[in-house]
């Protein structure tokens, strides 16, 4: 069965998220290389739980953790058909697809976070809504000068807007019967409020050592399969301020024949979405669900070979 990798975004990071990687040489090398590039010890970030959700730490931490996880698994796992990343996970996907080494991935993650923070002159955030169709969510967003940031399903969407409007958005959505979840993100990612971050990050990508991905990466903005440096630069920069069509990304993987999905963690939300979308027809798990990487490898060899 054909394997797809899923790289989640921000929100699920926690102090023990790197524990399973300890002692795995390939994973330690990624964390060491990324840390040297930034002048930090990556594991020290985990001792700062109050800052772990700040963009400046969260984005490089997540990217390096996912690359380290895949480097520890890849030589014993079946080759993936494609890789898809959710929000900042899309940048991590390029590391897993051998388009970026650890040092360049770390630097780009920091530059992405800085560009987004600088562009977010007004505090903003994201709210997940479940139970309302896209048209209703768009109507609520428009009333409050907000936007649909991510589409996870026909009735599962994320809205981004200014912090001052989020309570009103939650109130209106709840009144219409939606289930509301506040996300641990401090900016209105994937909305026009972040438009000023696109050009600086595009410039960072253009001057980087980004290579064509060895494995196709699914672009969040349109679910296209990216195989060139030029397309990677265009889609990675655009997605900062554009809606992520995540449901379409999953559909693209399924249409390509992927029936085994491995989420690299932290968290297990993406693999749960896959199981919900195709109950009984796919095998989807997160690395976070296993006690160690050996269990992940055994599952992949049994399921995806």
Residues 23 and 93 in one domain: yes
- Which pLDDT band, with edges at 50, 70 and 90, does 278 fall under? very high
pLDDT in tens, 185-194: 889 999 999 9
208 falls within a domain:
yes
Of the candidates 68, 56, 87, the residue with the CA atom closest to the CA atom of residue 17: 68
27 falls within a domain:
yes
Residues 247 and 106 in one domain: yes
Helix (H) or strand (E) holding 128: strand 124-130
Interaxial angle between packed helices 89-96 and 229-238, expressed in degrees from 0 to 180 and rounded to the nearest 10 = 160
- Nearest-angstrom CA–CA distance, 50 and 274: 31
Boundary (domain end) residue, out of 182, 204, 222: 182
CB 94 within 8 A of CB 232: yes
Q: Residue 189 has what pLDDT?
A: 96
CB 61 within 8 A of CB 113: no
Note the pTM of the prediction, 2 decimals. 0.96
- Nearest-angstrom CA–CA distance, 104 and 109: 9
CB 284 within 8 A of CB 261: yes
pLDDT in tens, 195-205: 999 999 999 99
187 falls within a domain:
no
Residues 49 and 161 in one domain: no
Residues 202 and 258 in one domain: yes
Q: What is the CATH number of the domain that holds 28?
A: 3.40.366.10
- Nearest-angstrom CA–CA distance, 218 and 83: 6
Q: How far apart are the first and last CA of the chain?
A: 6
Residues 269 and 130 in one domain: no
Using alpha carbons, list the distances in angstroms from residue 26 to 104, 135, 172: 17, 46, 48
CB 229 within 8 A of CB 210: yes
Structural domain of 160:
124-182
At CA 191, angle to CA 103 and CA 254, rounded to 5? 70
Residues 114 and 130 in one domain: no
- Which is more confidently placed, 111 or 48? 111
280 falls within a domain:
yes
Residues 107 and 219 in one domain: yes
Residues 12 and 96 in one domain: yes
Largest CA-CA distance found in the chain, in angstroms, rounded: 52
Q: What is the mean pLDDT of residues 43-63?
A: 94
Q: What is the mean pLDDT of residues 232-237?
A: 98
- Nearest-angstrom CA–CA distance, 186 and 162: 10
- Which pLDDT band, with edges at 50, 70 and 90, does 304 fall under? confident
- Nearest-angstrom CA–CA distance, 155 and 167: 20
pLDDT in tens, 126-141: 999 999 999 999 999 9
Domain count, the chain: 2
Residues 61 and 110 in one domain: yes
Residues 136 and 273 in one domain: no
Of the candidates 173, 121, 118, 122, the residue with the CA atom closest to the CA atom of residue 144: 173
Of the candidates 278, 286, 258, the residue with the CA atom closest to the CA atom of residue 89: 286
pLDDT score of 119 more than 90: yes
Residues 38 and 159 in one domain: no
């Amino acid at each position: 069965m054909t394997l797809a990798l899923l790289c989640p975004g921000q929100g699920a990071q926690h102090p023990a998220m790197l524990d399973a990687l300890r002692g795995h040489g390939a994973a330690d090398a990624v964390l060491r290389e990324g840390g040297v590039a930034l002048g930090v010890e990556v594991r020290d970030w985990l001792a700062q739980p109050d800052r772990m959700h700040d963009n400046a730490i969260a984005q490089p931490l997540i990217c390096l953790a996912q690359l380290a996880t895949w480097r520890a698994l890849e030589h014993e796992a079946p080759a993936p058909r494609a890789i898809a990343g959710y929000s900042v996970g899309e940048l991590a996907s390029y590391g897993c697809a051998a388009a970026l080494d650890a040092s360049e991935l770390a630097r780009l993650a920091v530059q992405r976070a800085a560009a987004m923070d600088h562009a977010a002159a007004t505090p903003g955030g994201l709210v997940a809504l479940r139970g309302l169709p896209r048209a209703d969510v768009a109507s609520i967003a428009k009333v409050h000068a907000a936007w649909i940031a991510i589409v996870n399903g026909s009735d599962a969407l994320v809205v981004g807007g200014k912090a001052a409007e989020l309570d009103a958005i939650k109130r209106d959505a709840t009144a219409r019967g939606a289930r509301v979840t506040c996300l641990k993100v401090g900016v209105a990612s994937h909305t026009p409020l972040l438009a000023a971050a696109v050009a600086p990050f595009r410039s960072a990508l253009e001057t980087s050592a980004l290579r064509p991905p060895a494995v196709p990466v699914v672009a969040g903005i349109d679910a296209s399969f990216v195989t060139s440096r030029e397309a990677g630069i265009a889609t990675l920069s655009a997605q900062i301020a554009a809606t992520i069509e995540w449901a379409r990304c999953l559909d693209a993987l399924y249409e390509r024949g992927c029936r085994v999905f491995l989420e690299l963690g932290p968290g297990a939300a993406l693999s749960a979405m896959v199981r919900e979308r195709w109950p009984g027809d796919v095998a989807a798990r997160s690395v976070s669900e296993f006690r160690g990487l050996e269990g992940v490898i055994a599952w992949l060899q049994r399921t995806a070979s």
